[in-house]
């Protein structure tokens, strides 16, 4: 489906779609969750996420940690994936290359699928534009990561496939991962920028700070794992940085 494809969806707040999901978070998702919950991004990472801030946390019962009864406790700052549901978005290599797919409804869901509008109206109505725009701004860092990797790794001496296999494993590990200040800084915007500025300025400053951290970092393993993490968190495949 594209932006003009017929689509509509009425949520009847049954809360069933807020169970048993794997929801990938971007740096902007974490920032918005933090603002909605009235806490810092560091506290948000600890309270609402796993995998260093990159995945929304779900309870043993299968419910999202932000779910209160059948309502989202952070509705104003719910992540992009929650806003787009029951649509999913698939990104290609080019900035405007996007495809939408319809996701299966949760068993027993009271949501009503229809064709009373189009995909674009739905995305706009859910406040998805700000998230997609923020992700596009963070995507500008992918080229900087690629450049930094080219500067720090000699692929005549290092086997590329093994190097990237390790980077993907390290980025996507849910436990026992190595310290990585770039990944920590990616999701903890308040921690490296400070609090008290508006979102637009926060994103610009955050990206600039990450760029500076990247320039200072000399470990190819740390840079590559962070590159994979950023790509995945904003909707690309790990291959985007290789």
The verdict on 82 binding ligand SF4 (CB under 6 A) reads yes
The verdict on 78 binding ligand SF4 (CB under 6 A) reads yes
Which one of 36-44, 78-86, 90-98, 174-182 is the stretch in contact with ligand SF4 (CB under 6 A)? Answer: 78-86
The verdict on 80 binding ligand SF4 (CB under 6 A) reads no
Closest CA relative to residue 32, chosen from 44, 23, 22, 19: 44
End-to-end alpha carbon distance in the chain: 28
From 25, 66, 119, 149, residue interacting with ligand SF4 (rule: CB under 6 A): 66
CB 73 within 8 A of CB 56: no
Instruction: Give the shortest CB-60-to-ligand SF4 separation in angstroms.
Output: 15
Residue closer to ligand SF4 (CB basis): 18 or 203: 18
Largest CA distance in the chain: 57
Please give the residues from 3 up to 22 whose contact with ligand SF4 meets the rule CB under 6 A. Answer: 18
Closest CA relative to residue 79, chosen from 101, 60, 64: 64
Residue closer to ligand SF4 (CB basis): 32 or 148: 32
The verdict on 72 binding ligand SF4 (CB under 6 A) reads yes
Query: How many other C-beta atoms lie within 10 A of the C-beta of residue 116?
Result: 12
In whole angstroms, what is the distance from residue 57 CA to residue 59 CA?
Answer: 7
Residues at the interface with ligand SF4 (CB under 6 A): 18, 64, 66-67, 72, 74, 78-79, 82
């Amino acid at each position: 489906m594209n932006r003009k494809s017929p689509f509509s969806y009425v949520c009847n707040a049954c809360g069933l779609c807020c169970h048993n999901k794997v929801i990938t978070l971007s740096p902007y998702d974490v920032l918005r969750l933090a603002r909605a919950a009235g806490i810092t991004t560091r506290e948000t990472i600890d309270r609402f996420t796993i995998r260093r801030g990159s995945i929304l946390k779900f309870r043993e019962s299968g419910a999202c940690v932000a779910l209160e009864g059948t309502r989202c406790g952070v509705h104003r700052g719910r992540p992009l994936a929650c806003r787009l549901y029951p649509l999913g978005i698939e990104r290609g290599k080019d900035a405007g290359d996007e495809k939408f797919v319809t996701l299966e409804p949760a068993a027993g869901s009271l949501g009503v699928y229809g064709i009373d509008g189009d995909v674009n109206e739905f995305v706009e109505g859910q406040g998805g534009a700000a998230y997609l725009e923020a992700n596009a701004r963070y995507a500008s860092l992918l080229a900087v990561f690629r450049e930094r990797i080219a500067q720090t790794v000699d692929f005549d001496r290092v086997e590329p496939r093994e190097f990237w296999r390790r980077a993907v494993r390290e980025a996507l590990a849910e436990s026992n991962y190595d310290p990585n200040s770039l990944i920590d800084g990616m999701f903890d915007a308040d921690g490296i920028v400070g609090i008290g500025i508006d979102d637009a300025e926060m994103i610009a400053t955050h990206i600039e700070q990450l760029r500076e951290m990247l320039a200072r970092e000399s470990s190819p393993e740390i840079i590559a794992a962070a590159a994979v993490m950023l790509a995945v968190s904003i909707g690309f495949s790990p291959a985007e940085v290789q």
